[in-house]
Structure 1
């Protein structure tokens, strides 16, 4: 596990902390001919050797370095095929981590993967999934009749409300699992403070009621999911 952790740390440092934006722009513009592509890959190799500090791991370092080059190069040529750059970015990151995992546990990869699967807390996974998009969709259906009666005089970011709701429900679920119910009250207070100016400026009773109902539903679903999880896992 320590080997995987050190390799993951090297990846995080090399891909995020020590990769300037100008490197990224140059790589996207020049692709395979970009000097920063090769400098970036060599930097990863140096970071891995520095953190491992053991020459006996040189085969793993070489394998990861070569795979990093191939994956980064593939992402550079795949980027134009996607409208949203977040898709190839996350695919690339998942594949990088998968390579690290495969290189570390290559001798018993199948057995170790099965062990990890057996360790998954499925009730927790179900609770997390439920408070994300399923709850957002359920709330959309429940509030559909009300939302059509709300007149908004300001523009908002696309799907901002949905993502805010998902994040707040994940926080609530986490607080319940940790037994920190008082933190839920602080979260409600913080949200109320941020919403106060909008409601004050709009002076719209319907909007106020709509936001209040939506907030109570969002927190309510998360609390129910948290309580059910705690009961099933105990």
Structure 2
């Protein structure tokens, strides 16, 4: 086993403890009682037990069997940090952002403890290879910036739709468009253009009923314009990124 295996095992233990060994009743108890929650203490104990088992197994496999006291100290530190992070989350709105920040905090703690324990700080200061920067820029461009661009391009036709009854999820089209463009970009980078056609065909099947029942053709044309713009921009960014990465 390598030292990187320890980090992977710690993350695996975290996933098991947070998502598979934590009943919903424990989560509700934590949200109700916060730092006084007995279920939170039990949850933290599960994490400490899993972390201690992982570190001891890794030490035995890696030949560090003499460092068992350090394993206990690391497990206790992981448990304490988990307790503090979960208590802080229990006072939040418990929405998507709280969930993402909670998981990010847990992973950062594991990374820092692993780095200190194994003296591996290769990830700091952070460096970004050119191909990674190109991929990151491409995905960032096809999400919100492209949504804004499409909105501006279709802005002149939007007043004509204001009198039509609104149906569907609030901002549903916005997020569907971002997912669609992200998938198109991924398929272009993987040279899977057939998958793009399959995805667009599936979308057309789902949208056909709504559009065919629309009393005003303006909605149909508006949706088609938005889809074609979304696909065209995503293809353009994807092909440009591929040319940069392979050229």
Does TM, scored on the shorter chain, surpass 0.5? yes
Query: In the alignment, is the contact (CA less than 8 A) between 2:6 and 2:54 conserved in 1?
Result: no
Whether 1:233 and 2:245 are equivalent positions in the alignment is yes
TM (norm. structure 2) is 0.86
Q: Give 2:204's match in structure 1, choosing from 181, 189, 192.
A: 192
Partner of 2:64: none
**Structure 1 residues 187-226: aligned runs within 5 Å:** 187-226=199-238
Q: TM-score if structure 1 supplies the norm length? A: 0.90
Q: Aligned to 1:89, which of 84, 89, 99?
A: 99
RMSD over aligned Cα, in angstroms?
1.9
* 1:174 pairs with 2:190: no
Match for residue 44 of structure 2 among 41, 45, 60:
41
**Match in the other structure for 2:62:** none
* 1:136 correspondence with 2:139: no
Q: Distance in 2 between matches of 1:69 and 1:50?
A: 19
Rounded Cα–Cα distance in structure 2 between residues aligned with 1:117 and 1:165:
31
Which of 73, 79, 104 aligns to 2:87? It is: 73
> Tell me, which stretches of 5 or more residues in structure 1 are unaligned?
none
Q: Residues 11-160 of structure 1: matches in 2 within 5 Å?
A: 11-52=14-55, 53-54=57-58, 56=68, 57-77=71-91, 79=92, 82=93, 85-106=95-116, 108=119, 110-114=121-125, 116-119=126-129, 121-150=132-161, 151-160=163-172
CA contact (8 A) 1:102 1:109 kept: no
Counterpart CA distance in 2 for 1:138 and 1:109 is 43
**Structure 2: gaps of 5 or more residues:** 60-67
Per-residue deviation at 1:119? 4.0
Aligned-partner Cα distance in 1 for 2:58–2:197:
50
